[in-house]
Structures are given as C-alpha cells and as structure tokens.
C-alpha cells in the first residue's frame, strides 16, 4: 500500500515523469514478462502519489476466469474494486473488457452500477476514471482505476484522457445520471468545453504523456508486425511471436527490434 507523498521538488520534476516512463515502458514489454507485474504495481503507486486529483488508485486484471486487484494504493480502492467484482459490473471491468477509458464524473448520480456507486459514495469518493493499460501485444492487460473526492478537480484529467485516446472522438463517453444510458455526444462536448484551458497538474500531465507515449510504442510494434505479415504471410499472433524471438535473440527491446524491422524495409 502507498500513501500520498509530498509534491516533487523542481529538481525532481526535471525530465520525463516517472509515471510517463512506466506507462511507455509497459507498452514495450512482452505481455508474459515477469516485469509486467512490477510495472503495474509501480504505476498504481505513482498514480496515487503524483496525480493531484486522485485520492486512491488500483489496477484490475483478469485472473483465473475472473477479476482481481493486482495493485492498490489503499484498502479504500480495494473495497471499491471488490464491490464491482462481486456484481461483475462496474467501470473498472468495462474499461478492461472494452479497451477504452470509462469515466464516472458524478458517482452519486450514476444508476448504471449501483454496487459500485453505493460502495464508492459511502467511502467518500465522488468521481472515478478507469483506463485500460496494454503491454507489447497491444491489447488491454489491466485497467488503472483512479478514484477522487473532488469531481471538479477530476474533470480536467478526464477530458485530457479522452483526448489522449482519440483526439477527434472519445472512445468512451462518461457514464452519467441517465439510468443505463451513456451521456450523448453533445454532453461530452459540453463537459470538455467546461474544462478547456484548465491546466493539468504535473502528475496528471505525466499520466497523459504516458498514455500518448504508450500509443507511439504500440503503433511502432504493430507496424513491425504488419511488415512481418507481409513478408511471411503469417497470422498476426505468429508475426508478433517472430518479433519477440528476434528481440530475444538480439538482446534488444521490442520497440528497438520493431524499429529495426521497419528500417530494413526502407
């Protein structure tokens, strides 16, 4: 378990955020690597410590045909996660299974997930954001759950994460107060407009930069997989395995190997 630390000093803020580095590194790590578990724990810890509007953070993953929390910054986050596992429904499950972020900007008003709502609200949480995380294969392996006590403070982070996943159109609109329905697109646009121009704190900016960096790494790997498919006629899974084997043989990372595969075609 982690506790919130003091904000980093100016000297500590120089260079990429450690959260940015961890998210980007995860995207270039083979899914079955032993390092993945450690990276997920570190990401949860850093999110809770560095992202100002976030009170608690956790990581949800599939295990043994179910869901489990593989990292949590406190028992509060764990309790909210487990309420969702009990119901087999909630934003953290939807984000992991759907591969897109799920925001609940007003927990007390949501009707879609009553178990999540009652548990989170009773613990003083008022807004949440669940973000799928992926490793080298490019598919979601876990979900980062961010829980906050101040909806207004969470709003700029939610808007920035939407934009990071798709600058043109959000892949997952916020779960709102309309029973089982997602909020319509114009409501999303109004929500984003309300926080437009509001600066992100350093931790939130590092999180968003990490998401963007992870997409760059994923695109690089997928481009290399495409090159291998074109050259060999293999399936996507088989081409990815070829890329992994080349990385292991050369002692390179997946991103470095992907870049070399692409360069060989130029």
pLDDT tens, position by position, for the chain (266 residues)?
Answer: 443 444 444 434 467 899 999 999 999 999 999 999 999 999 999 999 999 999 999 999 998 889 999 999 999 999 999 999 999 999 999 999 999 999 999 999 999 999 999 999 999 999 999 999 999 999 999 999 999 999 999 999 999 999 999 754 444 444 543 333 333 344 345 455 555 667 899 999 999 999 999 999 999 999 999 999 999 999 999 999 999 999 999 999 999 999 999 999 87
Residues 6+ apart with CB under 8 A from 171: 100, 101, 162, 165
The confidence score (pLDDT) of residue 159 equals 96
The confidence score (pLDDT) of residue 47 equals 98
What one-character DSSP code corresponds to residue 171?
A: S
Domain 218-264, CATH among 1.10.8, 2.60.120, 1.20.120, 1.10.10? 1.10.10
In the chain, ranges of CATH 1.10.10 domains: 218-264
Of 138, 45, 126, 59, the residue nearest 93 (C-alpha)? 59
- DSSP line for 236-258: HHHHHHHHHHHHHHHT--HHHHH
Domain 18-199, CATH among 3.30.450.40, 3.40.50.2300, 2.40.50.140, 1.10.3720.10? 3.30.450.40
The confidence score (pLDDT) of residue 247 equals 95
In the chain, ranges of CATH 3.30.450.40 domains: 18-199
Of 170, 90, 87, the residue nearest 125 (C-alpha)? 90
What one-character DSSP code corresponds to residue 182?
A: B
The confidence score (pLDDT) of residue 16 equals 81
The confidence score (pLDDT) of residue 40 equals 97
pTM, 2 dp: 0.85
Distances (CA, A) of 6 to 1, 20, 48: 16, 19, 12
Cβ 101 vs Cβ 144: under 8 Å: no
Of 192, 215, 216, 209, the residue nearest 100 (C-alpha)? 215
């Amino acid at each position: 378990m982690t506790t919130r630390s003091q904000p980093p000093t100016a000297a500590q803020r120089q260079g990429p955020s450690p959260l940015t580095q961890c998210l980007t590194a995860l995207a270039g790590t083979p899914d079955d690597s032993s390092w993945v578990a450690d990276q997920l724990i570190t990401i949860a810890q850093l999110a809770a410590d560095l992202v100002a509007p976030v009170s608690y953070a956790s990581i949800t993953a599939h295990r043994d045909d179910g869901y489990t929390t593989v990292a949590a910054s406190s028992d509060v986050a764990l309790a909210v996660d487990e309420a969702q596992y009990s119901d087999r429904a909630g934003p953290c499950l939807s984000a992991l299974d759907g591969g897109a972020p799920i925001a609940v900007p007003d927990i007390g008003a949501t009707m879609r997930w009553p178990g999540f709502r009652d548990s989170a609200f009773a613990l003083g949480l008022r807004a949440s954001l669940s973000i799928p995380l992926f490793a080298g294969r490019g598919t979601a392996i876990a979900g980062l759950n961010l829980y906050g006590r101040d909806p207004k403070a969470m709003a700029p982070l939610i808007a920035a994460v939407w934009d990071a996943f798709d600058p043109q159109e959000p892949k997952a609109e916020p779960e709102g107060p309309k029973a089982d329905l997602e909020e319509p697109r114009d409501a999303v646009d109004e929500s984003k407009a309300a926080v437009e121009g509001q600066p992100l704190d350093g931790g939130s900016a590092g999180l968003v930069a990490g998401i963007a960096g992870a997409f760059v790494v994923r695109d690089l790997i997928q481009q290399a997989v495409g090159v291998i498919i074109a050259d060999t006629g293999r399936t996507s899974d088989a081409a990815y395995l070829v890329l992994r084997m080349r990385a292991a043989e050369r002692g390179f990372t997946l991103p470095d190997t992907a870049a070399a595969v692409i360069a060989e075609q130029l």
